[in-house]
Amino acid sequence: MLIDPKTAEKATVEKVLRLQWWTDKLVTFTTTRPPAYSFAAGQYARLGLRDERGLVWRAYSMVSSPAQEFLEFYGVLVPGGLFTTQLKALKEGDGILLEKQCFGFMTPDRFPDGEDLWMIATGTGVGPFISMLRDPFVWGKFRNLVLVHGVRHAEEFAYTEELESYARHEPFESQARLTVVRSVTREQQPATNPLLLHGRVTTLFESGALERATGLPIADAASRIMLCGNPEMIEDMRRLLHARNLRPVRRALPGHFVTENYW
């Protein structure tokens, strides 16, 4: 991929190493990583692809951990989307642009205290939480890790095997325990698995179903919450958290939750 000098100042050309399609719309792709590219789990990159009109840039959270030598991203095809139309045509070996700087403030070091970390995601918003779970930091900092993942249809649960293996055995030497709660909104689930629920994550939070499923109360002293995904889910969750006297983390003020809109 040839780029002009101005683009070369802010971005590098990386190579697509692997594409894994989970469904016809959900894809994980890995790229080479420049040695100087450093990030914290929870942050996102800006990626560029070319179409006939020029370069199109989009934000993608890193799914890989900061220690991995490649970069991994997880995305959904947006109908008619300028970037994802190009992403759909991507092949292994193709070039992709990566801005030299990374972005984002949804990182677990924003919480100076707390015992239980709740990571609540919808759709591809689960990506940054996979990165966090691949990194030792959260396993050393918290006692309980809870990942709540809400999708429309069960086939949209990606990374299931990896997450289940972390829930069985913590991947780093730590006393922390991971619970994964999954929820589906547009089809019924067999009621045999207490960690596989039906309904929006907001409804499950409000009704207490998340607390019942995990056995962990959500309360101000112990609970710290990260939200990532559909911007409307984040708005609705914010309201529900405020109603329970839980506050967002502000630059100088500790709080209970941090958020990242996914589009």
Footprint of ligand NAP (CB under 6 A): 76, 78-79, 122-124, 150-152, 185-186, 200-202, 230, 232-233, 236, 262-263
Amino acid, res. 65: S
Nearer to ligand NAP, 123 or 128 (CB): 123
CB of 212 to ligand NAP, least distance (A): 18
| Number of residue whose CB is nearest ligand NAP | 123
Contact between 12 and 100 under an 8 Å Cβ cutoff? The reply is yes
CB of 60 to ligand NAP, least distance (A): 9
Contact between 158 and 105 under an 8 Å Cβ cutoff? The reply is no
Q: Which residues contact 69 (CB under 8 A, 6 or more apart)?
A: 33
CB of 233 to ligand NAP, least distance (A): 4
> Which tokens go with 53?
């009109």
Nearer to ligand NAP, 31 or 135 (CB): 31
> Which tokens go with 210?
């998340």
The radius of gyration computed from the CA coordinates of the chain, to the nearest angstrom, equals 19
Q: Strands, E, within 52-100: which ranges? A: 54-61, 70-76, 95-99
CB of 253 to ligand NAP, least distance (A): 26
Nearer to ligand NAP, 178 or 227 (CB): 227
Kindly report the CA angle at 30 between 26 and 33, in degrees rounded to 5?
150
CB of 45 to ligand NAP, least distance (A): 13
Nearer to ligand NAP, 124 or 223 (CB): 124
CB of 88 to ligand NAP, least distance (A): 12
Q: Distances from the Cα of 128 to the Cαs of 12, 119, 124, 203, 209, in angstroms?
A: 22, 10, 9, 23, 24
DSSP assigned state of 213: H
Nearer to ligand NAP, 105 or 263 (CB): 263
Nearer to ligand NAP, 107 or 124 (CB): 124
DSSP assigned state of 121: E
CB of 6 to ligand NAP, least distance (A): 25
Nearer to ligand NAP, 130 or 176 (CB): 130
Kindly report the CA angle at 22 between 19 and 236, in degrees rounded to 5?
115
